[in-house]
Amino acid sequence: MTITLNQQLIDLNIPRIAAILNVTPDSFYDGGRFTEQDLIVHKVQEHINQGATIIDIGGYSTRPGAQEVSVEEELSRVIPVVELLQQHFPNTPLSIDTFRSEVAQKALEKGAAMINDVSGSQADPKILDVVAAFQVPYIGMHMRGNPQTMNTLTDYEDIVFELRKQFSWLAEETAKRNINDLIIDPGFGFAKTVEQNFFLLNHLDAFQLLELPILVGLSRKSMIYKSLQLTAEEALNGTTALHMIALERGAHFLRVHDVKPAKECIDLYLKLKNSIT
């Protein structure tokens, strides 16, 4: 299984890391930490040195209860960072964490290489046309509602079946537009209870039937720190434990705040996997 990023073929038999770079004041873990250019460049260099394949830039916090941000505000946060990182790290693929077609368009025009849409095209269907025009990979996540309402939309009859159905629909929509690289994300923490998150993780291998790359975003999430009665700052060890489970059940990408521990987890997983053959 492969995808094309910045005109390079990426082999997904080796799990890859998407390093989170939130340029927001209110993200649940690192909000407000990366607003100065020097800090951004230093952090991204650290991510690259530690093994990140992709830098995932977000200008709109999607934590539960996050406030609405205008398109103009999101653009003012994201586009200067894309330009900055293109200048310093032209060979590192940049992913844009947005559900808005206008933000996606302008970021791709500035050199971004991937779109990461938490709404799976539900919020703004035009985003698929933008992705198709630029022929870049598209991460489609499962979510119900929006950050303001998603915690009230957790009623599922069969959560695995419903997510697979949604991803099958998304695969059809991307195929219609000749989008070559679709990556699916179950959306841990988005319109799911803690118990549903663990059930999904335990059944992550069920999504391999779709024959699509799977991205997992577990890093420091509430399913970890609430279960352990900790804070997000204390949730790294729990994150690493669940990353190994995700890899064993078929994850191709880990989207993380902490690259070095994730890379070590992947390295050990590959040692374990290769010892079987």
Residue-wise pLDDT tens digits, 93-146: 999 999 999 999 999 999 999 999 999 999 999 999 999 999 999 999 999 988
Q: How far apart are CA 135 and CA 33, in angstroms?
A: 32
Q: Is residue 260 flagged as an active site residue?
A: no
Q: Is residue 255 flagged as an active site residue?
A: yes
Give percent of the chain with pLDDT exceeding 90. Answer: 86
**Set 77, 164, 255, 263: catalytic member:** 255
Task: Report the Cα–Cα distance between both ends of the chain, in Å, rounded.
Answer: 19
What residue ranges do the domains of the chain occupy? Answer: 16-59+73-274
**Set 221, 226, 263, 273: catalytic member:** 221
Helix (H, G, I), strand (E, B) or coil at 230: coil
pLDDT of 65: 64
pLDDT of 277: 59
pLDDT of 35: 62
| pLDDT tens readout for residues 64-74 | 666 788 999 99
pLDDT along the chain (277 residues), means of 10: 94 97 65 68 96 96 76 93 95 97 98 97 97 98 89 95 98 98 97 97 97 98 96 96 98 98 98 86
Name the CATH code of domain 16-59+73-274 (choices 3.50.50.60, 3.90.1720.10, 3.20.20.20, 1.10.3720.10).
Answer: 3.20.20.20
Q: How far apart are CA 199 and CA 154, in angstroms?
A: 13
Closest CA to 28 of 268, 249, 190, 264: 190
Closest CA to 48 of 80, 7, 93, 82: 93
Closest CA to 160 of 200, 120, 192: 200
